[in-house]
């Protein structure tokens, strides 16, 4: 398992542009990246 650190804002997006699954969106100074969420619980987030 890899731990990631982001400098910027992050949010969980209900649907992406294709309208499929939940995504984690990370907004940095010059780009926005979305990661598909495969599992989300109180203490675990699997991307």
Q: What is the pLDDT at residue 16?
A: 56
d(CA 35, CA 16): 10
Q: How many CB atoms lie within 10 A of CB 23?
A: 20
Determine the 3-state secondary structure of 38 from DSSP.
coil
Per-residue confidence of the chain (47 residues) as pLDDT tens digits?
677 676 778 787 776 566 667 888 888 788 888 888 888 777 777 77
Q: What is the pTM of this model?
A: 0.53
Residue 15 CA, distance from chain mean position: 11
């Amino acid at each position: 398992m890899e731990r990631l650190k982001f400098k910027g804002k992050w949010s969980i997006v209900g649907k992406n542009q294709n309208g499929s699954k939940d995504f984690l969106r990370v907004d940095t100074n010059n780009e926005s990246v979305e990661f598909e969420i495969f599992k989300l619980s109180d203490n675990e987030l699997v991307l």
